[in-house]
A and B are shown apart, each in its own frame.
Chain A
Amino acid sequence: MLHTVNKSPFENSTLESCLKFAGQGSAVLLIEDGVYAATRDTAVSKLVQQALKRVSIYALKPDVEARGMQDRLMDGVRLVDYEGFVDLVAEHNAVQSWL
């Protein structure tokens, strides 16, 4: 399954909820304010690094760049553009949007 998360991990528990229910081998795509979770040296970096052991994590590049976070990304998170987003949806059996 593909999961999307669109909330910042600091003001909201959406990312935490998503990761709680994302099964082994699923993919998590961070979009909109969700991309902040992909940045290094934050209060949630450890949570995200742990999650990377079980799930693939992607971040939507235009959202990263809009927020000026492109030089602050942690290792292991893959950037995709909108076409990559489309591919991720097509490749997974279903998509769950965490709002």
Chain B
Amino acid sequence: MKFSILVNEGPYTHAASDTAYQFAKAALAKGHEIYRIFFYHDGVHNGTRLTVPPQDDRNIVKRWSDLAAKHQLDLVVCIAAAQRRGLMDAAEAKRHGKDADNIAPGFRISGLGQLIEAGIQADRLVVFGG
């Protein structure tokens, strides 16, 4: 089966990102396909390169990047939500005259249409929020 996942909250503050990650991992372990993971609202913060979590706890951002690399997952951060919250890739930073970008490996920034498409193309869409 093809799953799409929507993550509505940022890392650590809400459990949404953790639950979504464990769900994604389990789905892949069962041989399902993950069509797309879309990050909206504060969920865009899952894609920041600049977190330095404590050593004795999970590294949520890195975990997403690693899972994406291992399974060729499509991690999409909503451009509108990202702009509001200061999540940029290099192209966006240049476009808006910002002096830095901060997107983590494995994530790409794109429009809300990617979320709708994720719902259309997958067999199931699961929402994780706060």
A residues touching B (Cβ–Cβ < 8 Å)? 6, 31-33, 60, 62-63, 81-83, 85-87, 89-90, 94-95, 97, 99
Assembled-state Cα–Cα distance A65/B73 (Å): 30
Known: A31-B19, A82-B23, A82-B26. A90 touches B128 (CB 8 A): no
Q: Is the CB of B15 within 8 A of A32?
A: yes
Does chain A have a CB within 8 A of B25? yes
- Indicate the size class of the contact surface on chain B: 20 to 34
Please classify the interface of chain A as helix (H, G, I), strand (E, B), loop, or mixed, using the class held by over half of its residues. Answer: helix
Q: In the bound complex, what is the Cα–Cα distance between A31 and B128 (angstroms)?
A: 10
List chain B residues, Cβ under 8 A from A60: 19
Cross-interface CB contact of A89 among B15, B19, B25, B126, cutoff 8 Å: B126
Q: Indicate the member of A6, A31, A62, A82 with the most B CB atoms within 10 Å.
A: A82
Cβ of B13 within 8 Å of any chain A Cβ, yes or no, is no
- A86 vs B19: C-alpha distance when bound (angstroms): 12
Q: What is the minimal beta-carbon distance from B72 to any residue of chain A, in angstroms? A: 19
Question: From residue 1 to 47 of chain B, which have CB atoms closer than 8 A to chain A?
Answer: 1, 3, 8, 15-16, 19, 22-23, 25-27, 29-30, 32
